[in-house]
Structure 1
């Protein structure tokens, strides 16, 4: 099954086009990186996938997620774990009183917090503990968001999605705000997640392209400039085009770095 099947999609804000001619198919089991500069349209593309934005109906289009053209947000979140910096920041401000365990448990109701009217089964409590253990943060189960590091909160929010056993995760610039050690640890976590679910990683950082990534889509000028197999799309010439610099791409042991910029 396709996770995403988009054809000829345009998105506009107040009649101003923000995405144009989007054609993208991502199949279950594939791991993708969506790469582009700031302002290229990556965040808008995430909102299109999550149903927070809808196509401009002036143009004929196909927009299917998991084979359906209509989803309730609540049902979609059970199949597609979406981890954004906006969600992270929202928990930092409005969920600072929550523990890591409560952040994970709140995923059952897609709420920010745990409330008296919410009932949780013994199995749901157990699943929350298993998610914390899988993410290697069981030791901070009772730690409040206000006292967490950036990496700890991000893992807790992933746990919030993980309790539904989603078929895919969308991760929006997941290592922002992490130091070098935490970045390395987080990439290892993404690799661990990729064994059980498809990963769609949205970023402008080449060092986030982990070895299991099979496909790359390059976003440039509000459209998808190139897409396909990683070794065919992730090239010096293509990166030079989308970042509008003369870039030399280096690859060593399936990890990518910038060798030279002119």
Structure 2
């Protein structure tokens, strides 16, 4: 059962959203999306379909900028401070992972998680922490199943270990939901399997919004799927109704034979 800090029903409530980077060049068109707190979603689409832009829309890094009337609510609010929304919504991207690899490589696992209190890359002398906050870091590391590497530095970690630390950095705030952008990128087969099992565990603590182009990342607990194609949401709804060979063939523009076994989806064959 998902444990939420709030009884708010909607995580995301978007209607008729359009975004242009410049006049005449839409990057998202007619986005309609409603995600509730008792659901886990996968947002699936090919590269260039608009998935990354949708993440920026959800996180308030982008805002609708066209003449069309729209609704844009996150956790029931129209306007959020970016730092406040990220306490309620853990956003885990590969850009953040890369930033820690380059700018925070001498931080320990403990410090990466602790830095979540200040949304910083690293810990600085002027940062002040309570005893309770330090205790929370240890609890999070234990939940992440990496307590034994708490003193290990980022540059010594595997890709999977660092990714868990970055999730822990968000988990320190007990967010209501997580957005995970291509979470198994850079992981070998064994590490992918381990990480997906961890995400299943994470789904007991918060709603999961998985953004991916990999069918095999869609784990059993995912309840709903949104398919992105050509800068909009092609179809959305309950997983079993949306994940079909016909729909995937449409959004990936190639014939796909989708199969399901042991509650997991996989592509049996790809044709022309």
Which category describes the TM-score, using the shorter chain as reference length? over 0.9
Residue 147 of structure 1: aligned partner: 156
| 1:16-27 map, 5 Å | 16-27=25-36
How far is the alpha carbon of 1:78 from its aligned partner? Answer: 1.2
Distance 1:89 1:207 in 2: 24
TM-score normalised by structure 1 residue count: 0.99
Structure 2 stretches lacking a partner, 5+ long? 1-8
SS of the equivalent of 1:96 reads: coil
Does residue 234 of structure 2 align to residue 247 of structure 1?
A: no
Residue 14 of structure 1: aligned partner: 22
Distance 1:96 1:260 in 2: 41
Residue 46 of structure 1: aligned partner: 55
What is the aligned counterpart of 1:171 among 162, 180, 189?
Answer: 180
Residue 70 of structure 2: aligned partner: 61
Distance 2:183 2:70 in 1: 30
Per-residue CA distance 1:165-215 (angstroms, 9 max, x = gap): 010000000000000110000000100010111000000001100000000
How far is the alpha carbon of 1:57 from its aligned partner? Answer: 3.6
Structure 1 residue ranges, 4+ long, deviating more than 6 angstroms after superposition:
none
Distance 1:57 1:109 in 2: 34
Per-residue CA distance 1:137-189 (angstroms, 9 max, x = gap): 11110000011110000000000000100100000000000001100000001
What is the aligned counterpart of 2:115 among 106, 118, 121?
Answer: 106
Distance 1:86 1:255 in 2: 28
Residue 191 of structure 1: aligned partner: 200
Structure 1 stretches lacking a partner, 5+ long? none
Aligned residues: 262
Distance 2:220 2:180 in 1: 16
Distance 1:80 1:220 in 2: 25
How far is the alpha carbon of 1:248 from its aligned partner? Answer: 0.3
What is the aligned counterpart of 2:92 among 83, 90, 94?
Answer: 83
Distance 1:87 1:179 in 2: 20
Distance 1:246 1:206 in 2: 15
Does residue 9 of structure 2 align to residue 4 of structure 1?
A: no
TM-score normalised by structure 2 residue count: 0.95
SS of the equivalent of 1:189 reads: helix
How far is the alpha carbon of 1:118 from its aligned partner? Answer: 1.0
Residue 5 of structure 2: aligned partner: none
Cα contact 2:20–2:66 (8 A) shared by 1: no
How far is the alpha carbon of 1:77 from its aligned partner? Answer: 1.2
RMSD: 0.6
Cα contact 2:259–2:265 (8 A) shared by 1: yes
Cα contact 2:90–2:171 (8 A) shared by 1: yes
Distance 2:96 2:164 in 1: 12
